[in-house]
Amino acid sequence: MTLSVCIVNWNTREDLRLALTSLRDHPPQQAQVETLVWDNASTDGSAQMVRGDFPEAKLTESPDNVGYARANNALIQASQGEFILLMNPDVQVLPGTLDTLLAKAKQDERIAAVACRLLYPDGRLQHSVREFPTAGLIIWETLGLSRLFPHSRTLGAYRMTWWDYADERDVDQPMASLLLVRKRALDQVGLFDEAFPLFFNDVDLCYRLKQAGWRILFTPDAEAVHRHAASTSQRRPQAIAASHEGLIRFLRKHYSTRYSRLTMLLLTALIRTTAWARLLLATLACTPRHRAP
């Protein structure tokens, strides 16, 4: 088996249908493929749809929502492929996407992962690659300087907003929305850390891969469509809180010896203040506004 496609789904039935259809319509030309789907206790009929319309997919129906990391780990452990394609249910591969990702990975045995250009459904480029978060980059982000100066290689470094995604390069952390990973690299560094159930588990994995000497490659030669946040948008306040707590957990895990205790406390306070501000704005945006009679 060459490629194992791993998809974790939660209440995104129609997106999942499009994802599985794209895999069926655009398989790699010279590779054996298996598709594994983990359904995290969806209530929208996702599992029934997979069973009825895509019998070739290996479906696991979880009675509980165990989170992204744990579900993916279970799929990876059950997979047989030399390469793992981590794929969100709101992604659609295009003609040649899988062939190109596999070809790029096979160019160099030191490549642990390959990512491609992600596009919104309307064709706009999606900024899907970031540098690893550091104290400076977090400060630029929380103070809004990265948005004021997006073309600055210093202030816009975290989200890499200065980059046009037109060239092939080694990167730090592409989103795992569509990420090809070499199974042998996972065997070395381990699977997703389940202490990061939803966010920053992919950042943590990429960080461990880079620390172990593996390459992570971005290529513009392949593209896929990503609707973005199909699952997490269903619980936006919880997603905002989980994202910021994931960042704090990442800093504590990997940078506790790099930064002083005071620096870590200040970063934690800054991140949580930003989370509270975003939660307040999200709440206000959802509050119905009534006009005076």
Q: Which of 106-110, 177-181, 238-242, 286-290 has the lowest mean pLDDT?
A: 286-290
Q: What is the mean pLDDT of residues 220-241?
A: 76
Task: Please say if the pLDDT value at position 68 is more than 70.
Answer: yes
Q: How far apart are CA 62 and CA 40, in angstroms?
A: 5
Task: Please say if the pLDDT value at position 88 is more than 80.
Answer: yes
257-273, pLDDT tens digit by residue? 999 999 999 999 999 88
In the block, tokens 């997703």 appear at 192
**C-alpha distances in Å from residue 147, one per residue of 35, 161, 219, 241:** 39, 9, 25, 21
27-40, pLDDT tens digit by residue? 999 899 999 999 99
Among 26-30, 79-83, 150-154, top mean pLDDT goes to: 79-83
**Mean pLDDT score across all residues of the chain:** 92
Better-scored residue on pLDDT, 293 or 174: 174
75 within 8 A of 60, measured Cβ to Cβ: yes
pLDDT (0 to 100) of residue 278: 77
- DSSP string of 109-152? TTEEEEEEEEE-TTSPEE--EEPPP-HHHHHHHHTTHHHHSTT-
CATH of 3-127+165-230 given 3.90.550.10, 3.40.120.10, 3.30.1180.20, 3.30.70.120: 3.90.550.10
pLDDT (0 to 100) of residue 293: 38
Q: What is the mean pLDDT of residues 115-126?
A: 97
Cα angle 46, 49, 53; round to 5 = 150
Q: Which of 108-112, 227-231, 268-272, 276-280 has the lowest mean pLDDT?
A: 227-231
Indicate the helix (H) or strand (E) that contains 7: strand 3-9
Which has the closest alpha carbon to 120: 192, 223, 239? 223
- The pLDDT confidence band at residue 138, using thresholds 50, 70 and 90, is very high
pLDDT (0 to 100) of residue 292: 42
pLDDT (0 to 100) of residue 229: 57
Task: Please say if the pLDDT value at position 231 is more than 60.
Answer: no
165-177, pLDDT tens digit by residue? 999 999 999 999 9
